[in-house]
Amino acid sequence: MQTLQEIDADHIPVVTALNKIDRLPNPDSARQSLDDYPASVAISALHGIGITQLLEMVNRYLYEDFSLVTVRLPYQEGSLIALFHDQGQVDMVEQYQGGTLIRGRLPGRLVARFQPFVVKEFDNEA
């Protein structure tokens, strides 16, 4: 997490998997140690333990969750404007000199791509 903060990427959703729990003398204690960490799961890839939970977590945190955002996109970012319309849920669009202001919901997996264009003065509560 410290590295993500150092490179200004701490806004990107993270799912943590603690692998090889089958090699521990007490796998339950490993699972309990993850209680303090959101979006984390203990797995054994070799034996398939926890894989279903990992896939559900990845789906929930990176694909199903939509975040309310307002972005000011310059026309040069036409691919992002199109992506918002294609993958997001658009609530409001306003044209301004040089670009487009869009308010709506984006899947969690896309929010990081729009982060440089997020408008802070809007209330982005879900």
> What is the chain written as a DSSP string?
-HHHHHTT-TTS---EEE--GGGSS-HHHHHHHGGGSTTEEE-BTTTTBTHHHHHHHHHIIIII-EEEEEEEEEGGGHHHHHHHHHHSEEEEEEEETTEEEEEEEEEHHHHHHHGGGB-TTS----
Average pLDDT taken over every residue of the chain: 87
Query: Mind listing the pLDDT tens digit for each residue in 89-122?
Result: 999 999 999 999 999 999 888 898 999 999 986 5
CATH of domain 65-117: 3.30.70.240
All structural domains of the chain with their residue ranges: 2-63, 65-117
Q: What pTM value is reported for the model?
A: 0.53
